[in-house]
Amino acid sequence: MANNLLLFVLIALPSVIYADKLLSVAACQRGGNYGTGTIKEVRITPCPEAAQRRPCILRKGTNVTIEVDFEPTVGATDVTGRAFWANRMLELPLPNMNTNACATMTCPLQPNVAQTYRYVLPVSRGFPTRRYDVRWKLTASPFNMCFQFPIQILN
């Protein structure tokens, strides 16, 4: 029994080691807040670059998991999650996303109750190879949250 537990811990460990806390998360508006929620932590897996405070490198043909721990200040049902390639001028929505954010959260959201939103993003070979800001929005009127972080896409 104890041996089985140890085995389980050893097998489960790598996903813990490679889940890196993202340090350079910003609100979408300069000097603004994230919206009707408080972000506690954003993790990208894998992203060993986060330890050096560098943008995560997303390799084409792999899956990258984004997890956001947050606390909404208002309740919400049917939350929509969308990601965008963003710069100062425009936002391009990421195609073919599953926009049902409640698929990974406990909906309806309750005010001041911690939540984790999780999204597995397949890094398409069609994505341009370059550095970007990714802007992520969770919305369900009146709930809204928006944050962004830099990434680097590589082959």
**Cβ closer to ligand NAG: 93 or 122?**
122
Of residues 63, 77, 87, 98, which one binds ligand NAG by CB under 6 A? 63
Residues 6 or more apart whose CB falls under 8 angstroms from that of 30 comprise none
**Cβ closer to ligand NAG: 33 or 104?**
104
What is the Cβ-side half-sphere exposure of residue 101, based on CA atoms within 13 angstroms?
25
Q: From the CB of 55, what's the least distance to ligand NAG, in Å?
A: 21
Q: If you count them, how many residues does the chain have?
A: 155
Angle of CA points 74, 84, 67, to nearest 5°:
55
Residues that contact ligand NAG, how many (by CB under 6 A): 4
**Cβ closer to ligand NAG: 87 or 129?**
129
Q: From the CB of 28, what's the least distance to ligand NAG, in Å?
A: 27
**Cβ closer to ligand NAG: 46 or 55?**
46
Q: Element (H or E) spanning 7, and its range? A: helix 2-18
Q: From the CB of 10, what's the least distance to ligand NAG, in Å?
A: 22
DSSP output for 15-55: HHHH-EE-S--EESSTT---BSEEEEEEEEES-GGGGGT-P
Q: From the CB of 96, what's the least distance to ligand NAG, in Å?
A: 12
Of residues 24, 29, 62, 77, which one binds ligand NAG by CB under 6 A? 62
Binding string to ligand NAG for residues 112 to 141, with x set by CB under 6 A, is what? --------x-x-------------------
Report the C-alpha gap between 46 and 15 in whole angstroms: 8
* Phi, psi dihedrals of residue 8, rounded to the nearest 5°: -60, -45
Q: From the CB of 60, what's the least distance to ligand NAG, in Å?
A: 10
